[in-house]
Copies of this chain bind each other. A is one copy, B any other.
Amino acid sequence: MPNKYDIKNLGGAKHKSALPAASFVKDDRRILVDPSLPRKGKGAPASLEQAGPRAKLFFEAAASRIGIVSCGGLCPGINDVIRGIVMVAWHRYGVRDILGFRYGYQGLIGAKAAIPTPLTPQIVENIHKAGGTMLGTSRGEQDPKSQVDYLVEKKIDMLFAIGGDGTQRGVMDISREIKKRKLPIAIIGIPKTIDNDILYTERSFGFETAVAAAQAAIGGAHREARAVRNGVGLVKLMGRESGFVAVQASLASSDVNLVLIPEVKFSVERLLAWLEERLRRKAHAVIVVAEGAGQDLVPAASTDASGNKKPGDIGLYLKQAILARSTIGYRLSTVKYIDPSYIIRSQPANADDSAYCFQLAENATHAAMTGRTAMVVTLLNGHFVHVPSELVAKGRRKVDPRGPLWQSVLNNTGQPDL
């Protein structure tokens, strides 16, 4: 097993867990990254440590203090994760001291921080029923030294950081600074990305909710497109480098005629020719485009406060390109362009995401109590696992244009290769 799959730990584990013994997971339980039947002659298959409660803990629950912070853009389920950590830490481990840092990593910089919010079961009881994040959020990384200073000042033992790429890079930076100072502070990431592009995970929390909201927007585009002669509905969805939201929402709606994702290049000329033909035959068309698709066609991108490249606006580009064709088929009636991002992001988690967020929070809490650090919790092949932050930061999960998921899209939309 390669070293890169190993989990960092703050040290020994000397406290006994209060949880039922039957539930304990042994440290040598591992889950294969690839569940395909191994071919002969290959080396030991890559695997990840299985998550779950352990018999021995690093922290003494009753004496420890937990911090929680949420960063980056909104995503359905953040409040569910916050609630889950508070509930499991409080009721199952007996932690009585939990602080919520406000407005993302800014809340870990003494000079900028709003006063942290004490979190109790009563305070978080119903937060999962609303979208957004009760702690607030912000974009952008902050100086790790100042953040560790503040964690020390606030006597934090375990920090949970809910956020995307930038946030998980922050987890690594902070944990490096912690290690340098030899502090007994564990820091656990709960990876958040509505794009569902995290490595070593089946799905990211909020993704299913986002797909459902995206499906609803596609439904609107479909009805608008069909309502007029030669109407075109165009929906821009999340997906800067991976098209999972566009793909899954299109499969879910079955009303989409063309899906454009970052992983599959296309030519505008061929798109317009296809559209002309489509309108001639069917008198309407629905196109779904991930925000990161066709970036070779649109002006150079800027960078957001989190350091993420912001894609050029492919949605508007396509709308204008389609309208610029004075005649398509008989006569193009209209392009109804919908960008539902904020409505999608701010949804409360649906049932399946709520249950999932609770389990992520649960396993993150289990991991933190044992002194594991610089890692995230994910779901892999039906099991929750620990993934080193470094490993998860190495890349992104993508839609494989030769894999079965993209074939499903082709089978569903009937779209040609453009």
Q: Which residues of A contact B (CB under 8 A)?
A: 19-20, 22-23, 25, 29-32, 35-37, 45, 47, 50, 52-53, 74, 83, 87-88, 91-92, 102-103, 106, 114, 126, 128-133, 136-138, 202, 208, 211-212, 214-217, 219-221, 223-224, 226-229, 248-249, 251-254, 333, 336, 338, 340, 342-343, 345-347, 350-352, 354-355, 358-359, 362, 380-384, 402, 404, 407-408, 410-412, 414
**Which chain B residues border A130 with CB–CB below 8 Å?**
126, 129, 223
Could you give 29 example pairs across A and B, Cβ below 8 Å? A19-B407, A20-B410, A22-B402, A23-B402, A29-B36, A29-B37, A35-B380, A35-B383, A36-B50, A91-B411, A92-B411, A129-B129, A132-B226, A136-B226, A136-B228, A202-B382, A208-B208, A211-B351, A211-B355, A212-B351, A214-B351, A220-B346, A223-B346, A224-B345, A249-B351, A251-B355, A252-B352, A338-B342, A383-B404
Interface-centre pick from A221, A253, A343, A345 (highest chain B CB count, 10 A): A343
**Which chain B residues border A402 with CB–CB below 8 Å?**
22-23
Please report the C-alpha to C-alpha distance between residue A386 and residue B299 in the assembled complex, in whole angstroms: 47
**Copies of this polypeptide in the complex:** 4
CB of A349, distance to nearest CB on chain B (Å): 9
CB of A14, distance to nearest CB on chain B (Å): 23
Please report the C-alpha to C-alpha distance between residue A388 and residue B333 in the assembled complex, in whole angstroms: 32
In contact, B227 and A136 (Cβ under 8 angstroms): yes
**Which chain B residues border A407 with CB–CB below 8 Å?**
19-20, 23, 52-53
